[in-house]
Amino acid sequence: MTAGGGHVIDDQIGSQHRHNGKGGSHNNTAHIVENVLIENRAQVCADRSPGHPMITNPEIDKYMQDLLPSRDEVVAEIEAYASERNIPIVGPAVGRFLAALVMMTKARRIFELGSAIGYSTIWLARAAGQNAEVHYSDGSAENAKRARSYFERAGVASRIQVHTGDALSALAGTSGEFDLIFNDVDKQGYPAVLDAVPSRIKSGGLFVTDNTLWHARVLNPKEQSDYAVTEFNRRLFASPHFYVTQVPLRDGVSVGIRL
């Protein structure tokens, strides 16, 4: 990689889509991103309630956010839409982490379990390149419709297959092995995902899961979702199928290498 290669990659993954035929401008995009960052910082403080503490402290989160390059207009719009409507997305720091994993492993065939409005799908698809096969899955037809619109505008629609309905059923409806499976379904479903995915990931491929520190509720589980995440974590680290590490980024991201 040449000097400044990270910015080259940012240009390739995001900034090339800054003009998307909708009449957007650089100034408009910067304004959207600025608003999103302000909202995200406010949300960090809001999430630090006793029941939902964040893993990183607000100062560290702000520092990390300030380091991130501006996103293109489509991604910034999704961030703003999700913030306004309280739709969970992985956010730009985890989005870049997912993209880095894809680029490091040269993953081309990817399945995303639980895709919401397609935010992380775009990060995965852009990083995987034009010849990728990325599968989006979500139980909401409304989410899928909105995601399709974003995919078109982001220039990645041709490499994404959209599945509406149960994510594991969608996975079962495909054949062959995947280079990477990203798990972000409802937390109660995490143990079932762990049962299903080992046979669907190639040797050396990745099983990536979001929210595995679950607002620190793994320390004192009380609700069904809390117990599901703690069971998932315990079983994942004990699994003979994966070599696992856990990154305390945002709400915790686990990465398992298929053995």
| CA distance linking residue 122 with residue 95, whole number of Å | 9
Q: Show me where the domains of the chain are located.
A: 5-85, 91-258
The pLDDT value recorded for residue 57 is 82
Q: Tell me: pLDDT of 82 over 80.
A: yes
Choose among 134, 38, 36: nearest CA to 78.
36
Instruction: Tell me the per-residue pLDDT of 10-37, one tens digit each, with 9 for 90 and over.
Output: 544 544 443 333 334 444 444 444 554 4
The pLDDT value recorded for residue 53 is 57
Class of domain 91-258: alpha beta
To the nearest 10 degrees (0 to 180), the angle between helices 119-128 and 91-105 is 30
Q: What is the 3-state secondary structure (H, E, C) of the chain?
A: CCCCHHHHHHHHHCHHHCCCCCCCCHHHHHHHHHHHHHHHHHHHHHHCECCECCCCCHHHHHHHHHHCCCCCHHHHHHHHHHHHHCCCCCHHHHHHHHHHHHHHHCCCEEEEECCCCCHHHHHHHHHHCCCCEEEEEECCHHHHHHHHHHHHHHCCHHHEEEEECCHHHHHHCCCCCEEEEEECCCHHHHHHHHHHCHHHEEEEEEEEEECCCHHHHHHCCCCHHHHHHHHHHHHHHHCCCEEEEEECCCCCEEEEEEC
Rounded to two decimals, the pTM is 0.83
Mean pLDDT within 168-172? 99
How high does pLDDT run on average in the chain?
A: 86
Q: Tell me: pLDDT of 217 over 60.
A: yes
| CA distance linking residue 182 with residue 205, whole number of Å | 11
The amino acid present at 223, given as its one-letter code, is E
The pLDDT value recorded for residue 5 is 45
To the nearest 10 degrees (0 to 180), the angle between helices 73-85 and 141-154 is 160
The pLDDT value recorded for residue 175 is 98
| CA distance linking residue 246 with residue 237, whole number of Å | 9
7 vs 137, higher pLDDT:
137
Mean pLDDT within 195-220? 98
Instruction: Tell me the per-residue pLDDT of 104-120, one tens digit each, with 9 for 90 and over.
Output: 999 999 999 999 999 99
Mean pLDDT within 242-249? 97
